[in-house]
């Protein structure tokens, strides 16, 4: 087995995902709004996490993880379509393109999201390359990570927190649910496909939670430091909704310190993971580089 | 094993469902809008179909089907919440009560629907009373029946058909997808849990499709013949959206004839099912009575 870099994994993923998109069997009117958002050039962070963890464990083939990676991309994409709706964050632009409900209409956007969410589960259930036990574990965890105890609850709390004064702990809880749980799913899915132990799964969850917070703090900092052009979002999206952010609660320097603390946690968990598995989990740090998150000198 | 009537099955189901609802683990803010719609007094038609088919086959225990029945109720409930949204059918009342987005708000209604849809799959995935192979089949079929090749596509076609002239075949196609596929899932789920053969599953699908159309024609006829009070919907909902219905395309007498034709098909399929399985599939006809759909004299 050869180890792959994230750009190499991405190239592999994009090729397979393009092929997958051509194979979707639904009626054209239904497929069009689904593909519009699926192919709207995301960073493919979550699918790449599935694949990198598989590549690190060296127990399964990358292709064993593709259906799960696609399913995760479906779920992430549906969540963006619904989050952008007028009744939610009311965003007209996503990655510099019109959002789904602007390009089509609200009803279509709601339904395209519903279809992506629903279809995700058949992708995993029918994956003959995975053992039935693995498929069931992947489905149950995906449902729990994305549903009423996970991402959707995070989105509800996020909406309800508009114009509210939040503590940093309340903000962390929103991000843990809203973005952290899917990152954690991505990493754990790669581990489940690699037949990892429960102890390994738990460590991987810890890593992903720290990564998720780092990702969010970095995003918040970028929103403060960059203008709308380079983020591809509408200007000051969070601010116009009066949403709490790390910099608004901790100041820019406080947010930077919080980011470094999460990165430090990532390193500590990676150390324990490497010890536990005797596999090169240091490779996970490459995701920080992939996202242009400034990496401090690694401690010896 | 004792055979149960539909009212007896309903009593059993409601008791178990109430208990299930108390066990939902999500945060209270999330559970409240979910339970509001789950407990809004539906007829429980789909879950009862799962249970009656299990009762007819006499191969599995009723309790083996409960998780699947709950999952189906989740999916049906989410679809009603989203269908009622302002961007969709814009209904203020559902079964005589304020719709979810009226009782709470649009964002909450979208998210409560998303949560119900997502959570449904974990209910089946974690059901230890079913074999892994059965769980995977139930999950895959639920995803396909409810997603981009099933119910959601039907809802998209339905929305797009507003103010359009439809052929009766186009109308049938909408109903087959929008309501027929979940009825079919309900009956097939009971059969999968009973380890039915593929041939039996196919016949059960045929029955459910005819039942689904009969159900829809009956609903359309009721909307014409009854006033808003007794249906619990807003007056002339379909008409105000300029939606095609069986009576609008075929006239009241033509719609009644179409209803009788579907009931005749149901009888024919039941005859073949009874012959194939040597089980009393005539019991399925009780659903017509349950819905107060007038049953013609059965042919000898």
Calculate mean pLDDT across residues B152-175. 94
Calculate mean pLDDT across residues A148-168. 94
B132 chain-A contacts, CB cut-off 8 A: 132-133, 136
Contact yes or no for B143 and A125 at CB 8 A: yes
Q: Is pLDDT at B74 greater than 60 in this prediction?
A: yes
Nearest to A30 by CA among B149, B158, B79, B117: B149
Average pLDDT of chain B is 92
Would you call B98 helix, strand, or coil by DSSP? strand
Chain A residue whose CA is closest to B121 = A143
- The ipTM assigned to this model is 0.94
* Distance (Å) from the alpha carbon of B116 to chain A's nearest alpha carbon: 7
Q: Which of A156, A164, A181, A192 to mutate to test the interface with B (most CBs of B within 10 A)?
A: A156
CA torsion B46→B48→B52→B58, rounded to 10°?
100
Number of cross-chain residue pairs from A and B with Cβ atoms under 8 Å apart: 160
Q: Is pLDDT at A295 greater than 70 in this prediction?
A: no
Chain B residue whose CA is closest to A25 = B149
Instruction: Please say whether the dihedral angle defined by the alpha carbons of residues A34, A37, A40 and A46, taken in this order, is positive or negative.
Output: negative
Average pLDDT of chain A is 93
Task: State residue A225's pLDDT score.
Answer: 83
Q: Which of A32, A111, A129, A154 to mutate to test the interface with B (most CBs of B within 10 A)?
A: A111
B159 chain-A contacts, CB cut-off 8 A: 107-108, 111
Q: Which of A114, A151, A155 to mutate to test the interface with B (most CBs of B within 10 A)?
A: A114
Give the model confidence (pLDDT) of B13-39 as tens digits.
Answer: 999 999 999 999 999 999 999 999 999
Domain boundaries, chain B: 6-290
Chain A residue whose CA is closest to B108 = A156
Calculate mean pLDDT across residues A187-205. 98
Q: Is pLDDT at A242 greater than 80 in this prediction?
A: no
Cross-chain CB nearest to B122 (options A87, A132, A144): A144
Helices (H) and strands (E) in chain A, counts: 15, 2
Confidence of residue B230 (pLDDT cuts 50, 70, 90): low
Cβ–Cβ under 8 Å, residues A91 and A84: yes
Report the CATH number of the A6-290 domain: 1.10.600.10
Contacts of A100 (CB under 8 A, 6+ apart): A33, A36, A37, A81, A84, A94, A108, A109, A112, A113
Task: State residue A300's pLDDT score.
Answer: 39
Cβ–Cβ under 8 Å, residues B240 and B177: no
B147 chain-A contacts, CB cut-off 8 A: 26, 114-115, 118-119, 122
């Amino acid at each position: 087995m050869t180890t792959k870099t994230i750009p190499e994994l991405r190239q592999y993923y994009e090729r397979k995902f393009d092929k997958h998109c051509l194979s979707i069997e639904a009626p054209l009117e239904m497929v069009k709004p689904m593909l519009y958002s699926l192919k709207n050039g995301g960073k493919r962070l979550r699918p790449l996490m599935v694949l990198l963890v598989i590549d690190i464990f060296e127990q399964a083939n990358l292709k064993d993880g593709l259906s799960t990676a696609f399913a995760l991309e479906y779920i992430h994409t549906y969540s963006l379509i619904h989050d952008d709706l007028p009744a939610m964050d009311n965003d007209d632009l996503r990655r510099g393109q019109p959002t789904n409900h602007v390009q089509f209409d609200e009803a279509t956007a709601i339904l395209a999201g519903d279809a992506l969410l629903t279809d995700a589960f058949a992708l995993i259930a029918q994956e003959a390359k995975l053992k039935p036990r693995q498929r069931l574990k992947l489905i149950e965890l995906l449902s729990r990570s994305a549903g009423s105890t996970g991402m959707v609850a995070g989105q509800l709390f996020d909406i309800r927190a508009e114009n509210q004064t939040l503590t940093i702990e309340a903000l962390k809880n929103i991000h843990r649910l809203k973005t952290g749980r899917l990152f954690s799913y991505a990493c754990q899915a790669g581990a489940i496909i690699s037949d990892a132990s429960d102890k390994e799964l738990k460590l991987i969850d810890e890593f992903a939670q720290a990564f998720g917070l780092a990702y969010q703090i970095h995003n918040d900092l970028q929103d403060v430091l960059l203008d709308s052009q380079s983020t591809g979002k509408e200007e000051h999206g969070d601010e116009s909704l009066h949403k709490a952010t790390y910099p608004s609660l901790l100041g820019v320097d406080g947010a930077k310190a919080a980011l470094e603390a999460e990165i430090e946690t990532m390193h500590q968990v990676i150390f324990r993971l490497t010890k536990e598995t005797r596999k090169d989990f240091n490779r996970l740090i490459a995701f920080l580089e992939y996202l242009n998150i400034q990496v401090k000198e690694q401690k010896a």
